Amino acid sequence: MLLPLISIVVGLGLLVWSADRFVGGSAAVARHFGMPPLLIGMVIVGFGTSAPEMSVSALSALEGNPAIALGNAYGSNIANIALILGLAALISPIAVHSAVLRKELPILTLVTFLTGYLLWDGRLSRIDAWVLLLVFAGFMGWTIWQGLRRREDNLASEVEQAFKTEPIPLGRAFFWLFVGLVVLIASSRLLVWGAVSLSRGFGVSDLVVGLTIVAVGTSLPELASSLIAARKGEHDIALGNVLGSNLFNTLAVVGIAGMIHPMAVPGDVLSRDLPVMSILTLSLFVIGYGFRGPGRINRLEGGLLLAAFLIYTGCLVVKAGAGS
């Protein structure tokens, strides 16, 4: 079992590294060809931070391991809310004051329940996948339209400032785009092989491995960026990373996996993982929305989110040990 463990560790490390290079190269190329900073931030950076989940889930579906694809997407969502936001709020209570984020919170809640409705028959069909992808396309179009209507935008300003301080020549940008994409695919393949081998070696289901090791590993970019943003007091960035990633995972990642390989949904997903994800999303909506003023996720609420993640993960580990 040593080789699968090594492949998982190496795969995760290369996955995070390659995603960063891919995003940097793609954004620089887009900037050289005149793409507006807001679109670079929303489309390229937004897609890029979820590139690990997308590549791992797509390869898992292609290789006939759809449980890892679902576990990766929903496990990442659970980790994003309970682990990442919990840790970020412990570092610095998160103020929810951006109008855009306040709109995304109820959208994420509705999307979560839409997913539960589509999967309730125990199967993710290509029709279900099309619905998820069309909703995602509509959401992205609406978000971009809303952003372009605003005369001033914090995200556009941050992207513009990054290019002023760290300009990348076009040739180097294409190089890192290509290298990042190749390593991203290769590291995803290495990670999926290690995860499947580990699950079979220990008699643990692919779903549990996807919900734990793979999900937390592919959420490392969001973890790093959200914790750094929390330390700097950039609360919208910390929360925006989580909301954007969860919307992408729920709609695009699951949709792409379902298009590649329609699958039967494991019973545990319907009875355990989807309810946990839904409850965490609702709790985020309640504690973060701020019905009577600016919302705020304080340290106590952050500690409760982190405790929920530890309890959920502990239950997965205990059940996996009992079943092996």
94-96 and 295-297 beta bridge pairing: antiparallel
Could you tell me the two tokens for 119?
């999967």
Q: Would you state the pLDDT for residue 64? A: 82
Q: Would you state the pLDDT for residue 195? A: 81
| CA 159 centroid distance within chain | 20
Q: Would you state the pLDDT for residue 236? A: 66
Q: Would you state the pLDDT for residue 242? A: 81
Residue spans of the domains in the chain: they are 49-151+195-323
Each residue's pLDDT, cut to its tens digit, for the chain (324 residues) gives 788 888 888 888 887 787 777 767 776 776 677 666 555 555 665 666 677 888 888 888 888 888 888 888 999 999 999 998 899 889 888 877 655 556 777 888 899 999 999 999 999 999 999 999 999 999 888 777 766 666 555 555 554 555 555 567 778 878 887 888 788 778 877 887 888 787 778 778 888 888 888 888 878 777 777 777 777 776 666 777 788 788 889 999 999 999 999 989 988 999 999 999 999 988 877 777 666 566 778 889 899 999 999 999 999 888 776 665
| Amino acid making up residue 8 | I
Gyration radius from the chain CA atoms = 19
C-alpha distances in Å from residue 19, one per residue of 15, 163, 223, 260, 296: 6, 18, 14, 22, 31
CATH of domain 49-151+195-323: 1.20.1420.30
End-to-end, the C-alpha distance of the chain in Å comes to 15
For residue 264, give the H/E element and its range: strand 263-264
Q: Are 191 and 15 in contact (CB under 8 A)?
A: yes
Q: Are 97 and 235 in contact (CB under 8 A)?
A: yes
Angle at 63 between CA 61 and CA 66, to 5 degrees: 35
